[in-house]
Chain A
Amino acid sequence: SAVISQKPSRDICQRGTSLTIQCQVDSQVTMMFWYRQQPGQSLTLIATANQGSEATYESGFVIDKFPISRPNLTFSTLTVSNMSPEDSSIYLCSAVPIERGAGGYTFGSGTRLTVV
């Protein structure tokens, strides 16, 4: 299975600022996914990042707030913009292998964001 390096692992940010989270995969993958996990909750999908095209956002999430880049088949970034305390969550990236379903989905180690 692919291995994903995600950074930063945690950060404490001021209200109104932005944070960019990076995920680097050790092999080429098709789609990458960005999730948010609020305290005590399960994972909520923010968007699907496709190489060479705009990300597809889920209901309730917009590009201005969560811009995503996917410049190649091994790398993606998620920016959390104009942060407020409500954005305090764990953010996770995930990737699906080129051969769909083979080896399962892989997740990064998560970014624990606290907005003060």
Chain B
Amino acid sequence: KQEVTQIPAALSVPEGENLVLNCSFTDSAIYNLQWFRQDPGKGLTSLLLIQSSQREQTSGRLNASLDKSSGRSTLYIAASQPGDSATYLCAVLYYGNNRLAFGKGNQVVVIP
């Protein structure tokens, strides 16, 4: 079964600290991995997309790494701000499949 796990489920950090969110997947035959942000009651906003041939992607304060051999991806958010408070979802697209496999999310609160 192609499972995606996100740890921790929830975390709170003081403003200015760096955030580290972890995503693990059970099958290394991934096509790509995508990180999303979801605000309460809203849709998903794509943050970063990492193709299977890539090791990392960066956008502003966000950096995502991918290690297929260990089945892990990490999302780093530098110098967190209260506006970063949201749920972050990791989604994996596997070869031979057209649907995303989602983790349950990391719920983040950044304390001013």
Contacts and interface: CB of A to CB of B under 8 A. Distances in A.
Interface of A: 1, 6, 10, 31, 33, 41-43, 45, 48, 90, 92, 94, 96, 100-101, 103-110, 112
Nearest to B51: A101
B34 A42 contact: no
Contacts of B93: 101, 105
Interface of B: 31-32, 34, 36, 41-46, 49, 51, 89, 91, 93, 98-100, 102-105
A42 B104 contact: yes
Nearest to A107: B44
Majority secondary structure of chain B interface residues (helix, strand, loop or mixed): strand
Contact of A43 (B31, B32, B46, B102): B102
A42 B41 contact: no
A105 B100 contact: yes
B110 to A, nearest CB: 20
B42 A110 contact: yes
Contacts of A110: 41-43
Given A42-B105, A101-B93, A104-B32, A92 B43 contact: yes
Given A43-B102, A48-B98, 8 more contacts: A42-B102, A43-B89, A45-B99, A101-B32, A104-B34, A105-B46, A105-B93, A108-B43
5 contacts: A42-B102, A103-B49, A105-B91, A105-B100, A107-B43
A48 B99 CA distance: 9
